[in-house]
């Protein structure tokens, strides 16, 4: 994966997203489009990012019956996204349908196959949150179990918090793609729970990190992105 940093375009309008992308031009980072912007603007959000020269991680966390997910992945592939994700909780059959659909769609449309990731446990959740929905065992054990099922289904990697990176890397090897959200400075407290710095995540073995508010809410988003890229570069040395 060439892009080590993906900015989360979690904004209300296409105009806001385009303005951010304009300010981030030339930084060499990717763009993540999630439910908020995609609900507001639809495929135009993807088109806008691609026209600006930003590869797109389509973060819609598909979780439905296998046939529906396969159809959604086909259309995401048609749009030319570089990466997409599904919820590992949808099961092996659903994840396998996603992986197979990405491969067949890429061949049909003559496009690169998007990297297909499984979302394990959201970074906003902790042990107490999992208890509330009946998940037993540790967070680490649950994340690893889901990631193993994703690999069995033919996906390329997973989305996991900074806290599980080392465990996943040891268990699943160097070729397993790990993308990590929940990137925060140590002193920042918000709705994220399992967090770390970009340097810590990359140092632990993540392939890429997703950063939202530390870039998008910064007075100078380009400078904020550059600072995080410098952290990543130092962590990889």
CATH of the domain at 218: 3.20.20.70
Using the predicted structure, report yes or no on whether residue 226 has a pLDDT greater than 60: yes
Contact 206, 180 (CB under 8 A): yes
Using the predicted structure, report yes or no on whether residue 42 has a pLDDT greater than 50: yes
User: pLDDT of 88-101, one tens digit each?
Assistant: 999 999 999 999 99
**Cα dihedral 67, 73, 125, 13 sign:** negative
The number of distinct structural domains making up the chain is: 1
User: pLDDT of 149-168, one tens digit each?
Assistant: 999 999 999 999 989 999 99
Active site residues: 61
Give the pLDDT band of residue 182 (cuts 50, 70, 90). Answer: confident
Residues 6+ apart with CB under 8 A from 169: 176, 178, 204, 205
Which among 237, 150, 201, 203 has a CA at the least distance from the CA of 6?
201
Averaged pLDDT for residues 97-117:
98
Using the predicted structure, report yes or no on whether residue 126 has a pLDDT greater than 90: no
Model pLDDT, residue 200: 92
Residue 2 has a CB neighbour count (10 Å cut-off) of 8
Instruction: Please give the residue range of the domain that contains residue 98.
Output: 5-236
Model pLDDT, residue 186: 47
């Amino acid at each position: 994966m060439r892009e080590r940093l993906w900015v989360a375009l979690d904004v209300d309008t296409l105009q806001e997203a385009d303005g951010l992308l304009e300010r981030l031009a030339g930084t060499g980072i990717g763009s993540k489009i999630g439910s908020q912007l995609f609900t507001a603007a639809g495929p135009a959000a993807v088109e806008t990012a691609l026209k600006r020269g930003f590869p797109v991680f389509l973060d819609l966390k598909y979780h439905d019956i296998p046939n529906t997910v396969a159809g959604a992945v086909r259309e995401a592939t048609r749009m030319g996204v570089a990466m997409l994700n599904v919820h590992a909780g949808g099961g092996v059959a659903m994840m396998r349908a996603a992986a197979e659909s990405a491969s067949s769609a890429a061949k049909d449309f003559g496009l690169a196959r998007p990297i297909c990731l499984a979302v394990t446990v959201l970074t906003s959740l902790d042990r107490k949150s999992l208890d509330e929905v009946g998940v037993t065992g540790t967070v680490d054990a649950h994340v690893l179990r889901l990631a193993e099922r994703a690999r069995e289904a033919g996906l390329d990697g997973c989305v996991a918090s900074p806290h599980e990176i080392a465990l996943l890397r040891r268990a699943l090897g160097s070729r397993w793609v790990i993308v990590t959200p929940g990137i925060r400075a140590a002193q920042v407290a918000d709705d994220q729970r399992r967090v770390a710095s970009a340097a810590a995540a990359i140092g632990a073995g993540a392939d890429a990190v997703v950063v939202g508010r530390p870039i998008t809410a910064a007075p100078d988003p380009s400078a904020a992105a550059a600072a995080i890229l410098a952290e990543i570069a130092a962590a990889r040395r």
